[in-house]
């Protein structure tokens, strides 16, 4: 088995006296789709925020290992933009697109950390900058085609439907060329048809060499999609394993699935 | 049909205005003759005037609503006239050429006095475009912008006084000083946004002014620095009028350079990052944009233009004192940006010309000048809250759906 691309050990985050995350371990191997589930308020989004540098963890260790270069990085205390540069991108639970920018521009922003042009390049627009700009547009357009939004290139992001906005968020994250993609409730608020399309999209992304960690409440999606599942409750990890293992785990049933023993 | 309810409303508004303006418009006390003159006819005109204006504005609003309701979702038709012109190179190029020719022949068409006023207006165009980077594009509300303007002006005044440095040598230095100060200011306020940022920058602007006012050994205090050298032109001696024309062309040149640079910046990777930063900071960082660097660059680039204009200001008036750099000045530059349209270059140019030229040409109305000025500002904000000319979003055209071949127009 190849080495884990993300290894979290003993991650803890305190807000004052409250332990939002308490000593959580997690690891993701290349090409995997891993789900993080748990009841509301279990600390899943806080966990994401710690991973992506929006919060600084109180204790514990987050290590990212680039599967291609084998480069290992410790992410604790790194700025969010640096973490994205290292190859881990995310989407947000409450959609955070750039609402008045166009769909294409939203994806183009994702290319920011992979491009270089700065003040002088912008002013003099030298051949290198121009080529870079063309590449940005081209790649962004390809991504839009992949997520099926290439007909709305010049539409303002806020005018998109809910499901399309979620897909655009994924597209924007993909533009940063991540090897690990964190999706925070990607199917929230989607109708069954949209969810189905989303599942296909996630599978496709995964098959293209991105590993995925997702938070989700839609159990059908989680069970059908993920290779492994981690379950959190009250900030603690209470179970982990394949969908079957988790499904039959008594602790999970007690904390999360409640009465549905047969589920 | 115009609703009766609105007629009643307008009548009420008219009454209210008549009442409000009663003390200044109707009563006229002559303290020498010790008589009071009652000018009731004025009251009638005010009432009638406000009644008509209120009805007209209501009609306009109703029409606008109807139009918006009818053409929902059809952007090509609701797109304002100005934006269509800006989008179409066919119109844009001849139009800019005409404006350029007009600008270049201005000193020959009009008097020295007019040229001087126009120079001031164009200086504010550059200031507006500089602040536009900070406020309009990057969304950082800066109320102390005048501080950078002051730094530019005093750089030239002091360097000229102590080291006898020439205008052209100080021009870049003044800009760089201001840009450096922009970074200095930027660091502590990086975490702040919106109102908090506005307050801190406001304080910063005042600090600079107070330093200039009170540190006598450094800046000669409130009495200011006089006899600053005018800009030279290869050692040529110029007449007074010639000097004004020269500065006018210099400013026109600066305006052109500024428009060019700001336009390029806005349509670049950096400009996109600024826009994104304005819209959502956290998402921005999560997408790999360095918030610190991007903000500092916005601050310092904005300040740079203010520094340049500051140097020109000192050279133009040959005298600087702290009274030229009060908060009012910041407020005017900010109004230029907001009135013109945040993030829109053409908007800011119009905003500056209107806001600076209008008070000059309304001088004929003498005492009502500022009243009219305020009135026009209010009317603007009611009818076009997004500014005179809102920013044209760049659109991208893809020739074939299959390939990534892109052609874009800005």
Distance from CA of A122 to the nearest CA of B (A): 5
Is pLDDT larger for residue B120 or for residue B42?
Answer: B120
A80 part of contact set with chain B, CB < 8 Å: yes
Residue A97 and residue B287: Cβ atoms within 8 Å? Answer: no
Res. B406: pLDDT tops 50: no
**Position B171 confidence tier, pLDDT thresholds 50, 70, 90:** very high
pLDDT of residue B126: 95
Residue B401: closest C-alpha in chain A: A150
Residue B288 and residue A136: Cβ atoms within 8 Å? Answer: no
Question: What residues of B are in contact with residue A154 (Cβ under 8 Å)?
Answer: 393, 395-396
- Calculate mean pLDDT across residues B16-24: 87
User: Is the C-alpha dihedral spanning A189, A192, A197, A199 positive or negative?
Assistant: positive
Distance from CA of A93 to the nearest CA of B (A): 11
Spacing of C-alpha B279 from chain mean position: 22
Tell me the CA distances in angstroms from B234 to A92, B137, B167, B237, B238, one per residue in order. Answer: 60, 38, 11, 9, 11
Q: Where do the DSSP E strands lie in A94-199?
A: 180-184
Rounded to whole angstroms, how far apart are CA atoms B108 and B114? 11
Res. B407: pLDDT tops 50: no
Res. B206: pLDDT tops 60: yes
Tell me the CA distances in angstroms from A160 to A93, B252, B367, B375, one per residue in order. Answer: 17, 43, 52, 39
Tell me the CA distances in angstroms from B80 to A68, B20, B384, one per residue in order. Answer: 51, 36, 12
Q: pTM for the full model?
A: 0.83
Rounded to whole angstroms, how far apart are CA atoms B183 and B172? 16
pLDDT of residue B311: 95
Domains, chain B: 4-70 (no CATH), 110-383 (1.10.3470)
- Rounding to the nearest 10 degrees, give the CA dihedral for residues B299, B302, B304, B310: -120
**Position B78 confidence tier, pLDDT thresholds 50, 70, 90:** very low
Q: How many helices (H) and strands (E) does chain A have?
A: 10, 10
**Position B236 confidence tier, pLDDT thresholds 50, 70, 90:** low
| Angle of CA points B176, B288, A149, to nearest 5° | 120
Rounded to whole angstroms, how far apart are CA atoms B156 and B170? 6
Query: Hey, of B262, B286, B393, B401, which one would you mutate to test binding to chain A, going by the most A CBs within 10 A of its CB?
Result: B286
pLDDT of residue B90: 77
pLDDT tens digits for range B320-375: 999 999 998 998 899 899 888 888 888 999 989 988 888 888 777 767 777 777 78
For chain A, list residues with pLDDT below 70: 1-2, 256-263
Beta bridge partners of A21: A13
- Calculate mean pLDDT across residues B156-160: 92
SS3 per residue for A47-115: HHHHHCCCCCCCEEEEEEECCCCCCEEECCCCCHHHHHHHCEEECCCCCCCCCCCEHHHHHHHHCHHHC
First-last CA distance in chain A: 31
Residue A134: closest C-alpha in chain B: B406
pLDDT of residue B403: 43
Q: Which residues 211-250 in chain A show a CB within 8 A of chain B?
A: none
Distance from CA of B331 to the nearest CA of A (A): 26
Name, in order, each residue with C-beta under 8 angstroms of B263's C-beta and a sequence gap of 6 or more: B345, B410
Res. B240: pLDDT tops 70: yes
pLDDT of residue B250: 92
Find the helix packing angle between B291-317 and B269-279, rounded to 10°.
110
Q: Which residues 86-105 in chain A show a CB within 8 A of chain B?
A: 89-90, 92, 96-102, 104-105
Read off the tokens for A129.
């900058």
pLDDT of residue B81: 66
Q: What is the ipTM of this complex?
A: 0.88
pLDDT tens digits for range A201-217: 999 999 998 999 999 98
Residue B264 and residue A122: Cβ atoms within 8 Å? Answer: yes
Res. B410: pLDDT tops 50: no
A52 part of contact set with chain B, CB < 8 Å: yes
DSSP state of A234: T
């Amino acid at each position: 088995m190849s080495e884990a691309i993300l290894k979290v050990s003993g991650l803890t985050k305190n807000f004052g006296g409250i332990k939002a995350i308490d000593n959580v371990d997690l690891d993701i191997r290349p090409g995997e789709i891993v789900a993080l589930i748990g009841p509301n308020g279990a600390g899943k989004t806080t966990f994401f925020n710690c991973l992506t540098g929006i919060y600084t963890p109180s204790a514990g260790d987050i290590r990212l290992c680039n599967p291609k270069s084998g480069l290992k990085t410790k992410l604790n205390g790194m700025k969010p933009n640096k973490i994205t540069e290292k190859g881990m991108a995310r989407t947000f639970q409450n959609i955070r697109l750039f609402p008045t920018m166009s769909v294409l521009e939203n994806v183009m922003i994702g290319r920011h950390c992979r491009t270089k042009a700065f003040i002088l390049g912008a002013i003099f627009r030298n051949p290198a900058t121009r080529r870079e700009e063309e590449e940005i547009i081209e790649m962004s357009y390809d991504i839009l085609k992949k997520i099926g939004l290439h007909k709305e290139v010049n539409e303002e992001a806020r005018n998109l439907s809910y499901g399309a906005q979620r897909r655009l968020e994924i597209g924007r994250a993909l533009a940063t060329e991540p090897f690990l993609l964190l999706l925070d409730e990607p199917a929230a608020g989607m109708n069954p048809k949209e969810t189905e399309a989303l599942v296909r999209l996630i599978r496709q992304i995964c098959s293209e060499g991105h590993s995925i960690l997702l938070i989700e409440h839609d159990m059908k999606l989680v069970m059908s999609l993920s290779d492994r599942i981690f379950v959190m409750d009250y900030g603690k990890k209470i179970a982990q394993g394949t969908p079957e293992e988790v499904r039959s785990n008594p602790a999970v049933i007690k904390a999360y699935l409640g009465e549905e023993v047969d589920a | 049909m115009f609703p009766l309810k609105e007629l009643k409303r307008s009548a009420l508004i008219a009454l209210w205005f008549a009442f409000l303006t009663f003390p200044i418009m109707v009563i006229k006390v002559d303290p020498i003759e010790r008589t009071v003159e009652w000018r009731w006819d004025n009251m009638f005109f005010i009432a009638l005037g406000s009644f008509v204006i209120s009805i007209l504005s209501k009609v306009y609003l109703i029409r606008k609503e109807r139009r918006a309701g009818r053409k929902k979702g059809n952007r090509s038709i609701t797109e304002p006239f100005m934006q269509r012109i800006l989008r179409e190179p066919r119109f844009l190029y001849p139009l800019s050429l005409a404006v350029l020719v007009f600008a270049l022949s201005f000193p020959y068409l009009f008097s020295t006095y007019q040229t001087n006023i126009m120079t001031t207006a164009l200086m504010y165009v550059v200031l507006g475009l500089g602040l536009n980077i900070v406020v309009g594009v990057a969304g950082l509300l800066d109320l102390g912008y005048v501080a950078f303007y002051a730094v530019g002006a005093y750089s030239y005044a002091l360097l000229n006084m102590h080291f006898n440095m020439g205008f052209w040598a100080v021009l870049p230095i003044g800009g760089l000083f201001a840009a450096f100060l922009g970074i200095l200011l930027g660091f502590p306020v990086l975490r702040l946004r919106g109102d908090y940022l506005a307050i801190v920058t406001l304080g910063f602007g005042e600090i600079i002014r107070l330093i200039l006012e009170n540190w006598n050994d450094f800046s000669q205090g409130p009495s200011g620095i006089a006899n600053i050298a005018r800009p030279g032109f290869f050692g040529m001696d110029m007449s007074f009028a010639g000097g004004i024309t020269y500065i006018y062309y210099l400013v026109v040149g600066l305006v052109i350079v500024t428009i060019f640079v700001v336009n390029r910046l806005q349509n670049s990777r950096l400009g996109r990052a600024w826009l994104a930063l304005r819209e959502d900071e956290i998402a921005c960082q999560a997408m790999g944009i360095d918030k610190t660097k991007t903000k500092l660059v916005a601050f310092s680039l904005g300040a740079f233009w203010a520094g340049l204009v500051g140097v020109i200001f000192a050279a133009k008036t040959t005298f600087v004192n702290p009274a030229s750099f009060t908060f009012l000045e910041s407020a005017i530059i900010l109004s230029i940006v907001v009135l013109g349209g945040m993030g829109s270059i053409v908007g800011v140019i119009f905003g500056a010309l209107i806001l600076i030229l209008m008070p000059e040409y309304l001088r004929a109305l003498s005492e009502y000048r500022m009243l009219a000025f305020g009135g026009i500002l209010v009317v603007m904000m009611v009818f076009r809250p997004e500014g005179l000319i809102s920013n044209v979003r760049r659109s991208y055209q893809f020739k074939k759906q299959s390939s990534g071949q892109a052609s874009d127009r800005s």
